[in-house]
């Protein structure tokens, strides 16, 4: 007997449905509709559901199981606070990104009253407070905790710093009746990242916050419980595809790139260690599963931020026929009309150019880099971050990639450039395309049938090279 499963992703822009015959391990239909956060989430779901049943040709189809992930409400907004920018603040930021959050700002060194005013204006959903290795500095995290009590509208605070400071922080927060949670130190030793306990707490808070979106309580009653944030689902799929599970082998080191309207997300599943034993590692320990979210590299909601971040010359490199003023106006138009769909060859060329610049820049930020230091007798090489030069696979997903006949050309923007050989980007990976926009669904499926999810990804991801 065939078993039919429905997978639902309530995204910040689109609600996406994927129907799967789990017995045969085949996709039987997909559909999407705009996410209706402003009215009721079930409105967008109902529209997509009717499209799905029509596409399948079975208006009375019954699904034995339904699985839901969500990034509705635009994600989980967070402020990260740490002692030093290069260590504890960066550790907190990496742990947060792995949990599906969107970083509004990272603060390092000592907080100031002006920082407190800015945090109130940013209105984060959660604050991650770190600082000090275990047995190390306590003064910073205690002073930061005291200042956070002066916030006008304090959100929940997750404390993931020096463990010895926790008994002193509790009465500070209790006196002001703040909501807080303690967890293990995100950096217990210098350059050692302890991200998982932080991720679990942030994920739980994210799930609570998601449920407050308009209509999501009804979604849980009528469709099913939200199992995980969408970014977590994609990272879960990537991890299973790379590492395998049980009797189904993985394909090896890979990256997933998702270019969206608001952000460009990268997920790398690899250790990224130096390919040359003579190269020395420095800086914070890199996680095997790493996610970065570039909030200034979006195709619509963040188009002007992308323009400002990369400069007009980089965009013009792909659009020599455009004047600088035209490029600015086109970015402005997309930010003011985020639902704009390219209908002409010129508009499509512009979107492709933005995607290339976003991919290139996002990989520059995600990849590690080399630096050389000359001594009287030799030149030493030091690596910070992940070496992606020997990466086997790069998988593209997201609207601008999944349905683009020029997807391979766009993905090629991730490759290492001769003039930037110190940035350890991929050199000759195989490109694959998530043409069915299914990776979030595969992450959900992997939570119950990991081997089936791996086999389906191998079957449906389209090889471009």
Measured from the Cβ of residue 124, the count of other Cβ atoms closer than 10 Å reads 22
Q: What angle do CA 341, 362, 206 make, to 5 degrees?
A: 80
Interstrand relation of 101-107 and 76-81 (parallel, antiparallel or unpaired): parallel
Is pLDDT at 99 greater than 70 in this prediction?
Answer: no
Residue 91 above 90 pLDDT? no
Instruction: Give yes or no for a contact between 49 and 32, defined as CB atoms under 8 angstroms apart.
Output: no
* Strand boundaries in 11-63, DSSP class E: 14-21, 26-34
pLDDT band at 207 (very low <50, low <70, confident <90, very high): low
Helices vs strands, H then E, count in the chain: 16, 21
Kindly give, in sequence order, each residue whose CB lies less than 8 Å from that of residue 163, ignoring residues fewer than 6 positions away. 134, 184, 185, 188
| Element holding 121 (H helix, E strand) | helix 113-122
Position 38 confidence tier, pLDDT thresholds 50, 70, 90:
confident
Cα–Cα separations (whole angstroms), residue 311 to 239, 303, 317: 34, 12, 11
* pLDDT at site 97: 66
Dihedral (C-alpha) 213, 214, 219, 221: value to the nearest 10 degrees? 100
Identify the bridge partners of residue 67 per DSSP, sorted by sequence position: 7
pLDDT bucket at 40, cuts 50 / 70 / 90: confident
Sign of CA dihedral 270, 272, 277, 281: negative
Task: Tell me what percent of the residues of the chain surpass a pLDDT of 70.
Answer: 95
Short-list 316, 406, 298, CA closest to 359: 298
Whether residue 37 has pLDDT greater than 80: no
Cα three-residue angle 311-283-419, rounded to 5 degrees: 40
Q: Which tens digit of pLDDT belongs to each residue from 237-254?
A: 999 999 999 889 999 999
pTM of this prediction? 0.80
**In Å, what is the CA distance from 294 to each residue of 31, 258, 265?**
27, 10, 6
DSSP annotation of 423 reads B
pLDDT of residue 283: 83
What's the CA gap between 92 and 185, in Å, rounded? 9
The span from the CA of 398 to the CA of 438, in Å, is: 10
State the average pLDDT over residues 175-183: 94
- Which phi and psi (to 5°) does residue 387 adopt? -90, 110
What pLDDT, in 10s, does the model give residues 448-465? 999 999 999 999 999 997
> Do the strands 180-182 and 226-229 form a parallel or antiparallel pair, or are they unpaired?
unpaired
Q: Provide the pLDDT for residue 92.
A: 75
> Looking at residue 173, what is its pLDDT?
96
Mean pLDDT, to the nearest integer, of 411-426? 95
> What pLDDT sits at residue 105?
87
Got the DSSP string for 340-402? ----SHHHHHHHHHHHHHHHHHHHHHHS-EEEEEE-SS-EEEEEES---TT--EEEEESHHHH
| φ, ψ (nearest 5 deg) of residue 256 | -115, 130
The domain limits of the chain are 4-73, 75-205, 236-463
CA distance 251 to 245: 11
Q: Would you call 313 helix, strand, or coil by DSSP?
A: helix
Q: Which CATH number applies to 4-73?
A: 3.30.420.300
**How far from each other are the two terminal CA atoms of the chain, in whole angstroms?**
37
Instruction: List pLDDT tens digits, range 129-166.
Output: 998 889 888 999 999 999 999 999 999 999 999 999 99
* Region 286-299 average pLDDT: 85
CA dist., res. 242 & res. 252, Å (int)? 4
Domain 75-205 class in CATH: alpha beta
């Amino acid at each position: 007997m065939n078993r039919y499963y429905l997978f639902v992703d309530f995204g910040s822009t689109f609600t996406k449905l994927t129907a799967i015959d789990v017995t045969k391990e085949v996709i039987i239909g997909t559909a999407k509709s705009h996410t209706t956060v402003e009215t009721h989430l079930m409105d967008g779901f109902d529209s997509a559901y009717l499209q799905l049943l029509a596409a399948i040709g079975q208006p009375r189809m019954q699904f034995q199981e339904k699985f839901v992930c969500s990034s509705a409400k635009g994600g989980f907004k967070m402020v990260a606070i740490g002692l030093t920018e290069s260590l504890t603040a960066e550790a907190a930021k990496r742990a947060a990104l792995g949990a599906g959050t969107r970083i509004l700002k990272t603060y390092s060194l000592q907080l100031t009253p002006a920082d407190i005013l800015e945090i109130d204006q940013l209105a984060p959903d959660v604050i991650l407070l770190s600082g000090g290795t275990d047995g190390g500095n306590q003064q910073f995290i205690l002073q930061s905790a005291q200042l956070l009590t002066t916030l006008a509208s304090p959100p929940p605070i997750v404390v993931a710093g020096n463990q010895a400071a926790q008994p002193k922080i509790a009465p500070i927060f209790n006196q002001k009746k703040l909501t807080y949670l303690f967890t293990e130190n995100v950096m217990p030793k210098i350059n050692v990242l302890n991200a998982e306990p932080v991720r679990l707490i942030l994920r739980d808070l994210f799930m609570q916050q998601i449920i407050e979106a308009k209509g999501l309580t009804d979604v849980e009653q009528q469709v099913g419980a939200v199992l995980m944030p969408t970014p977590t689902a994609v990272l879960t799929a990537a991890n299973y595809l790379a590492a395998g599970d049980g009797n189904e082998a993985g394909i090896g080191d890979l990256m997933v790139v998702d270019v969206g309207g608001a952000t460009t997300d990268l997920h790398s599943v690899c250790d990224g260690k130096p390919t040359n034993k003579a190269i020395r590692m420095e800086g914070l320990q890199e996680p095997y599963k790493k996610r970065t979210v570039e909030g200034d590299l979006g195709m619509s909601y963040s188009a002007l931020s992308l323009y400002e971040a990369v400069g007009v010359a980089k965009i013009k490199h792909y659009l020599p026929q455009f004047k600088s003023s035209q490029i600015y106006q086109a970015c402005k138009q997309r930010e003011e009309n985020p639902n704009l769909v390219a209908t002409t060859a010129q508009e499509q060329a512009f979107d492709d150019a933005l995607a290339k610049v976003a991919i290139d820049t996002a990989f520059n930020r995600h990849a590690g880099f080399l630096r050389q230091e000359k001594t009287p007798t030799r030149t030493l090489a030091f690596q910070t971050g992940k070496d992606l030069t020997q990466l086997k696979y790069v998988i593209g997903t997201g609207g601008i990639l999944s349905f683009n006949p020029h997807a391979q050309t766009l993905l090629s923007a991730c490759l290492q450039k001769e003039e930037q050989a110190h940035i350890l980007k991929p050199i000759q990976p195989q490109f694959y395309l998530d043409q069915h926009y299914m990776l979030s669904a595969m992450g959900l499926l992997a939570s119950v049938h990991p081997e089936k999810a791996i086999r389906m990804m191998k079957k449906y991801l389209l090889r471009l090279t």
